[in-house]
Amino acid sequence: MAPVVSEDYKMRKKQEILSSALICFAKKGYQQATMDDIVEQSGFSKGAIYNYFRSKDEIYFEAVNENTSSLQGVVKEQLKQLPASIDRVSFLFDTYLSNNHEDQTERALFQVYYEFRLQSSRDEKIASFLKKRRQDLFINLIRDIVTDGQSRGEIRADLDADILAHTFWGLIDGASICVVTDPDYPYKAALTQMKQMFLDYLS
Amino acid sequence: MAPVVSEDYKMRKKQEILSSALICFAKKGYQQATMDDIVEQSGFSKGAIYNYFRSKDEIYFEAVNENTSSLQGVVKEQLKQLPASIDRVSFLFDTYLSNNHEDQTERALFQVYYEFRLQSSRDEKIASFLKKRRQDLFINLIRDIVTDGQSRGEIRADLDADILAHTFWGLIDGASICVVTDPDYPYKAALTQMKQMFLDYLS
Amino acid sequence: MAPVVSEDYKMRKKQEILSSALICFAKKGYQQATMDDIVEQSGFSKGAIYNYFRSKDEIYFEAVNENTSSLQGVVKEQLKQLPASIDRVSFLFDTYLSNNHEDQTERALFQVYYEFRLQSSRDEKIASFLKKRRQDLFINLIRDIVTDGQSRGEIRADLDADILAHTFWGLIDGASICVVTDPDYPYKAALTQMKQMFLDYLS
Amino acid sequence: MAPVVSEDYKMRKKQEILSSALICFAKKGYQQATMDDIVEQSGFSKGAIYNYFRSKDEIYFEAVNENTSSLQGVVKEQLKQLPASIDRVSFLFDTYLSNNHEDQTERALFQVYYEFRLQSSRDEKIASFLKKRRQDLFINLIRDIVTDGQSRGEIRADLDADILAHTFWGLIDGASICVVTDPDYPYKAALTQMKQMFLDYLS
DNA sequence: GATGAATGAGAGTTCATTCAT
DNA sequence: GATGAATGAACTCTCATTCAT
């Protein structure tokens, strides 16, 4: 029998649940947020939620990771417009500089994301998922830019592109974790200094 | 009448419980680690633990924070030996470079510490405690070194000492959170690059 | 969407739990009766009980007080049939005289009720609840009858209606507490004497 | 070997513990008062207390009942001075009328006593102890006065002395339980009315 | 004798998940 | 498909009692 509701309809419902769940996880943390919280926040019944997801765990996984890939696509598209490697790196810093951590929702997303990452040391599934994604989407992105820049003489040739990529994301993670854990952290000023250091260092 | 057991005895018991608890928190996270886990890990009875601590929460708080102040004392002592500001900053980087994140206990402490910090956005008590401590022990430390270096012409005068301090700890936090969430993170190489960048930037 | 079970269904479930709880409280006292006792007595699961009540305390409160108001309604209805004040007072005595303290359930209710009242000195919530209810339902009832009787010359005018009301309930409480704490107390005989004394005293 | 400390010394220590315990039981109730409370209140160590009493239960039993017998002696002595039965009954009422229920300690003693009595339905040991004591010290006291008064023509001969005794103590218990559970109960006024009724009824 | 640290069974409560309706 | 009442294992914390010192 053909499904009574379209796949698209189901997808939208899932999205609704996921974004409600994300709000709950942000507000209370994964453990403290209850299915009842998600029920209340989403307006769905408990049974309905369990029709879409097998467990709270699965909701967590999907809620935290639903946006990453699509965001990446947008950024990559914009990077293509920039010919110089330095400009590309600069653009990536600017992308993070434009994050508004005074916005509750945005802060919350970051917080949940870092909590999720800290889980990785206890959950092989999370660990391998994050590791693969980090390599594919984040490390390779910078490494390619750097390698490209080195081949064009824009960037010092004596630097290891891979290490530089890890350093770059270390800076981003550093500024992010600080602002998430301290609302008064001078995120923009500090990240701007990091950008300046990093760009100076490249050439 | 004299107490049956000495204060020192009680202190040692507390330490034992705290380090057992830290292992549990590292293994499972604060929420997932149960008092029964701590009972099993420590060899104490449940009641005994509650003789020393009022709640699991209190154990968490103390387990995470027990070493910070004393460690600080040691570091500050060593800093006094170094006259040049640049050398002092360099020394601080080296301190973190010497952390061995392949050691289970050391990784565990970092992991639990970052989880604790992420709690701060939901727990005003943790937030204000961490904020005060970060300012007193960490931010002021760097700011004073920088201000000193600026007055002696070692460090560029156009840099804001406070922002620099926040940037410095952003780098440390960045490298730390990365290595905690990914055992393959090239911690030493990346932090060495950060150190280089930072020192270049200062002068 | 309509609820899966009716409000009436839920009401009946609550009643079932409350009467099971009352049996437990009577058997062991509030503190000694455990939620597991109530689980066993009622046949409900622990979770189910907590779906209907927030705490053991709430169950206690409602179990002790569920019948009072409705009983009062019945009694007041019957009082209206009696024109003479003396007859009304007499009827109230008779109501208590007809209590069968050899019946387990009835004894249990009284016992739990007096324990509850004794809690009031330690629990402001219980105290104010009981005080208000005693005034509204019990004291005023007698005072109005007495005042009425005085205006019609049935009852001595020199007596303070309010004090008389407190005296009346003192007699009832006295006979009740005695029979609850001693199954051999000659409840009917003693209360009959009290009735006689009281009625003699009125006129 | 002769005891190192005198029996009298031990008695005094026991008294100290008992009166501290009574304060605790009054403040929190038997179940809620902990041995640690009694330790704190009495200044004795836990081990010391367990040297004098076998269990918390035993402390409760003795604390509640320690004063009754000696008080009875005093009252009986005074009754001997009064020749008329009516005067004797009147004196007993006056004894209770002179209780100051605004005094915390006195109220507390009554409260603990009534709580203890309510336990009797669950504890055969308490039940039989109270029953015997009530008969020996309280019921017989009144019955003898009444019988005496009847033989001398002071008191109506058609009244059952035993029932009258139970009625008398019902009045006392009624006024007492009311004032214990409601600090605003007009104890003196109500008990005075009860006295009047009772005395009128006797003759 | 005196002490109070240690014990551990047992308390009230929570909550992810299920499944009869 | 949708609902939310029901489940019960698992949680944190308590406290009367013991016993090594």
CATH number of residue A54's parent domain: 1.10.10.60
In this prediction, residues D46-65 reach a mean pLDDT of: 95
Instruction: With respect to residue B2, please indicate whether it lies within any of the assigned structural domains.
Output: no
pLDDT band for D181, please (50, 70, 90 cuts).
very high
pLDDT band for C34, please (50, 70, 90 cuts).
very high
Strand F: which of residues 50-89 in chain D lie with Cβ below 7 A? Answer: 50, 55-57
Q: Do A86 and A154 contact (CB within 8 A), yes or no?
A: yes
What is the distance in angstroms measured between the alpha-carbon CA of C3 and the sugar C1' of F4?
8
Tokens of B180: 């905690």
Q: Which positions of strand F lie within 7 Å of protein CB atoms?
A: 1-21
Strand ranges (DSSP E) for chain B? Answer: none
Q: Which residues contact B114 (CB under 8 A, 6 or more apart)?
A: A114, A118, A177, B176, B177, B180
In this predicted model, what pLDDT tens digit does every residue of B9-52 receive, in sequence order?
889 999 999 999 999 999 999 999 999 999 999 999 999 999 99
Distance CA D49, CA D64 (A): 17
pLDDT band for D112, please (50, 70, 90 cuts).
very high
Whether the pLDDT of residue A5 is over 70: the answer is: no
Query: Which residues numbered 153-172 in D keep a CB inside 8 Å of some CB on C?
Result: 159-160, 162-164, 166-167, 169-172
Residues B87 and B154 in one domain: yes
Among B164-173, C75-84, D70-79, name the most confident range.
Answer: B164-173
Whether the pLDDT of residue A70 is over 90: the answer is: no
Instruction: Please give the pLDDT value at position A60.
Output: 96
CATH of the domain at B104: 1.10.357.10
Query: Based on the structure, what is the number of domains in chain D?
Result: 2
Place of tokens 């004394």: C197
In this prediction, residues D177-198 reach a mean pLDDT of: 97
Percent of chain B with pLDDT over 90: 83
Instruction: Please give the pLDDT value at position D5.
Output: 61
In this predicted model, what pLDDT tens digit does every residue of D6-44 receive, in sequence order?
677 788 889 999 999 999 999 999 999 999 999 999 999
Residues C184 and C125 in one domain: yes
Domain boundary among A33, A64, A95: A64
Q: Do D85 and D148 contact (CB within 8 A), yes or no?
A: yes
Q: Which protein residue lies nearest to nucleotide F1, measured between its Cα and the C1' atom? A: A48
B46 touches strand F (CB under 7 A): yes
Q: What are phi and psi of D63, to 5 degrees?
A: -60, -40
Q: Which of D31, D172, D178, D196 is the best residue to mutate to test the C interface, defined by the most C CB atoms within 10 Å of its own CB? A: D178
Residues C81 and C60 in one domain: no
Give A78 to chain B, closest Cα distance, Å.
26
In this prediction, residues B120-142 reach a mean pLDDT of: 93
Residues D60 and D79 in one domain: no
Q: What are phi and psi of D123, to 5 degrees?
A: -135, 105
- CA-closest candidate to residue D31, choices D118, D131, D107: D118
In this predicted model, what pLDDT tens digit does every residue of B74-86 receive, in sequence order?
888 999 999 999 9
DSSP string, D167-194: HHHHHHHHHHHHHHH-TTS-HHHHHHHH
Whether the pLDDT of residue A51 is over 60: the answer is: yes
How long a stretch of residues is chain B?
203
Q: What are phi and psi of D116, to 5 degrees?
A: -60, -45
Instruction: With respect to residue A111, please indicate whether it lies within any of the assigned structural domains.
Output: yes
CA B153 → CA A180, B159, B162, distances in Å?
34, 12, 17
Instruction: Please give the pLDDT value at position A4.
Output: 57
Instruction: Please give the pLDDT value at position D1.
Output: 45
Whether the pLDDT of residue B4 is over 70: the answer is: no
Residue A39, nucleotide of least CA–C1' distance: F4
Give B98 to chain A, closest Cα distance, Å.
17
Instruction: Please give the pLDDT value at position A138.
Output: 93
Q: Which of C102, C194, C196, C198 is the best residue to mutate to test the D interface, defined by the most D CB atoms within 10 Å of its own CB? A: C194
Domain boundary among C49, C64, C79: C64
Query: Which residues numbered 26-55 in C keep a CB inside 8 Å of some CB on D?
Result: 27-29, 31-32
Residues C185 and C121 in one domain: yes
Tokens of C86: 């003396």
Whether the pLDDT of residue D190 is over 50: the answer is: yes
User: A15: domain range?
Assistant: 7-64
Instruction: With respect to residue A162, please indicate whether it lies within any of the assigned structural domains.
Output: yes
Q: Do A130 and A117 contact (CB within 8 A), yes or no?
A: yes
Residues A20 and A37 in one domain: yes
pLDDT band for C1, please (50, 70, 90 cuts).
very low
Distance CA A102, CA D39 (A): 53
Distance CA A135, CA A108 (A): 24
Instruction: Please give the pLDDT value at position B8.
Output: 85
Who has greater pLDDT, B108 or D97?
A: D97
Q: Do chains C and B touch (3 or more CB pairs under 8 A)?
A: no
Neighbours of A125 (CB within 10 A): 11
Instruction: With respect to residue C1, please indicate whether it lies within any of the assigned structural domains.
Output: no
In this predicted model, what pLDDT tens digit does every residue of C97-121 receive, in sequence order?
999 999 988 888 899 999 999 999 8
Residues D41 and D116 in one domain: no
For B39, what's the count of Cα atoms within 13 Å in the CB-facing half-sphere? 9
